[in-house]
Structure 1
Amino acid sequence: MSTVETTLETRLEKPVIGQWDPLPEVENPKHEGGFGIWVSHSVIQCKRLLYGWARDPATTIQTLIYPALTLLMFHVVLGNSISAATGKPAVYGQVPMITLVAAMSGAVVSALGFKVEKATGLLGRFWTMPVHRAAGLTGRLLAEAVRVLVTTLFVIAVGFALDFRFDQGWLAALAMIGIPVVFGVGFAVLVTALATITEGVMLVSLISIVNTLLMFFNTGFVPVGAYPVWLQDVVENQPMSCAIDAMRGLSYGGPVAEPLLKTIAWTVGIVLVFAYPAISGYRRAAQNSN
């Protein structure tokens, strides 16, 4: 027998690896709907979004440059006038206001990204894969929290150049930094619910109107006494004013408990009202994704 025939016969007799061998058993298999899987998949989805945002110049501008320039503009144009009228540095109201405005504006970018994923079929592919069904939504909210935290820290850093300080200690400072994060996540739930039922242009228009009204009618823009008497109660108790007053108290000094409780109440209320529409809308968008 020739060498070629011997080699060929040997190859034919040798079993192909994995053709007859049983597959190895998976140790400690975990159900895709388990709590641990939900947490790990949410973190993965969060990282996916954060990496995408970090590579997008428009998101970087929306997250960092725009809030910083807005703070500088308000400080230059209105800072001295407000400080002279109130006897308090205006920056202690402007820094909290800009962090909250940035949190709300950035949520629109996330919502538009959600619509792109729906249109391209990415949501549908995630829905059919062995991925926890809730991880897409919770990962998006987690990414929003990270984004708001980064924006808040950057705005505060710019504020330090404008004489903003933490006069009430570092524990109060940490609490102050946490307020925009909590507020931003609650607002992101609202925006996500709206994103599932509106078109992109309509969503931007709606959120822009809300942002503009809240930004120009709050206690961070000018003191509540500067507004007409019939409007003062509305301005003082709207969600953004409550958060600004709590953040001002935690940084400069002043009442903290009442505005903080109002902020928590507003945030919890928003989440309770819009959580189910956001969840059901996200599910519907994933199932109907192209």
Structure 2
Amino acid sequence: MTMTTSPRGVQAPTSRRNGTGALTGLRVFTGRGLKHSFRDPESLLMAILLPVMLMLIFVFIFGESIAAGQGGDRSDYLAYVLPAVALTAAGFGASYTAVVVSNDMTTGFMNRLRTMPFPAVTVLLGHTAASMVRNLLATGVVLAIAFGLGFRTDAGVAELAGAVGLIALWILVITVVFAVLGMVAGSAEAASGYGFVLLFLPYLSSGFAPVETMPGWLQGFAGHQPMTPIIDASRALFSGRTPGDEWWIGLLWCGGFIVLAVWLAAVIFPRKVAR
């Protein structure tokens, strides 16, 4: 306990509450985010069921004809679309982060934190950590169902770890991006709408069809957007092949997005909280 002097010269005892600080704040707000997630089962189920339904639709409705045209079978197409479905699951799950961050920014919760011994930025970090847990859970469900549908791989432990690690890195990227969108949006509805375009990136990549089969005017974008090297590298690793340059290109995209999002958060968040 220390003694501080008030403006009138009266000494008053002050003490720092036990357990306060960035790490404690991160733990508290991560737990808060997870509790909110599991108390909103509709959003959690949608984040898991939508990618699963997407995988079933592509595999059982489109997979037969697409695989037949390429001289393969349905299991081959399942292995082809699996990385794209896993990354699509990350997008749906991360969109919820934008909504809850926007709610905290617009309902006065951040202003309340100014009177509490928590760094306000730990709210964003807590939402990000909770979203990572939710999205990794959804990705695990997608992979388990894929194995149940007949997905098999010759990849070793290192290749599988690399594929899952790359998917997890993109989950972190998309979560941070959606957290920033939720921070700058004027409402939860706007936050969800701003990130809606990001959910379409897997469809405009090599995730569900080869880039060379797309219209010529679309091939340039599909071949050079961030999802394509990440999906191609993950697909190669899942199959036990060397990912080549796609691995490093995907890492550079992820690193660039994270640096940009963190910089925007560092610039914008203090201004938002100080209002």
Q: Same fold (TM over 0.5)?
A: yes
Matches of 1:206 and 1:164 in 2, distance apart?
35
Q: Which amino acid aligns with 2:267?
A: S
Equivalent of 1:181, from 159, 168, 180?
168
CA change 1:268–1:77 in 2 (3 A) is same
2:272 corresponds to 1:272: no
Equivalent of 1:210, from 189, 195, 198?
198
Q: CA deviation at 1:230?
A: 4.3
Task: Provide the residue aligned with 2:135 in structure 1.
Answer: 148
Q: CA deviation at 1:112?
A: 0.7
- Worse-matched range after superposition: 222-231 or 193-202: 193-202
Post-superposition Cα deviations, 1:217-259, rounded to whole Å, max 9, x if no partner, equal: 1112111221133432431231111111111111124341311
Post-superposition Cα deviations, 1:118-175, rounded to whole Å, max 9, x if no partner, equal: 2332222223210133321222221222122111101001111221223212222222
2:70 corresponds to 1:82: no
Instruction: Report if aligned partners of 1:246, 1:256 keep a CA contact under 8 Å in 2.
Output: yes
2:192 corresponds to 1:192: no
Matches of 1:62 and 1:278 in 2, distance apart?
28
Instruction: Report if aligned partners of 2:155, 2:241 keep a CA contact under 8 Å in 1.
Output: no
Equivalent of 1:201, from 180, 189, 192?
189
2:79 corresponds to 1:92: yes
Instruction: Report if aligned partners of 2:159, 2:238 keep a CA contact under 8 Å in 1.
Output: yes
Q: Which amino acid aligns with 2:159?
A: A
Query: Number of paired residues?
Result: 259
Q: Which amino acid aligns with 2:195?
A: I
- Worse-matched range after superposition: 200-209 or 162-171: 200-209
SS of 1:132's equivalent? coil
Q: Which amino acid aligns with 2:31?
A: K
Q: CA deviation at 1:87?
A: 4.2
The residue correspondences of 1:279-290 to structure 2 (distance < 5 A) are: 279-288=266-275
Equivalent of 1:68, from 52, 64, 73?
52
Q: CA deviation at 1:62?
A: 2.3
Matches of 2:270 and 2:154 in 1, distance apart?
46
2:206 corresponds to 1:219: yes
CA change 1:285–1:175 in 2 (3 A) is same
Matches of 1:178 and 1:165 in 2, distance apart?
19
Task: Provide the residue aligned with 1:120 in structure 2.
Answer: 107
Equivalent of 1:132, from 100, 119, 132?
119
Q: CA deviation at 1:268?
A: 0.8
Matches of 2:231 and 2:41 in 1, distance apart?
29
Q: Percent identity between the aligned chains?
A: 26
Instruction: Report if aligned partners of 1:224, 1:232 keep a CA contact under 8 Å in 2.
Output: yes
Task: Provide the residue aligned with 1:53 in structure 2.
Answer: 37
Matches of 1:206 and 1:132 in 2, distance apart?
27
Task: Provide the residue aligned with 2:154 in structure 1.
Answer: 167
Q: Which amino acid aligns with 2:66?
A: I
Instruction: Report if aligned partners of 1:97, 1:215 keep a CA contact under 8 Å in 2.
Output: yes
Matches of 1:264 and 1:59 in 2, distance apart?
29
Flag the structure with larger Rg: 1
CA change 1:176–1:206 in 2 (3 A) is same
Instruction: Report if aligned partners of 1:97, 1:221 keep a CA contact under 8 Å in 2.
Output: yes
**What residue ranges of structure 1 are gaps of 5+ in the alignment?**
1-22
Matches of 1:144 and 1:87 in 2, distance apart?
39
Instruction: Report if aligned partners of 2:102, 2:185 keep a CA contact under 8 Å in 1.
Output: no
CA change 1:252–1:117 in 2 (3 A) is same
Provide TM-score, normalisation by structure 2. Answer: 0.84
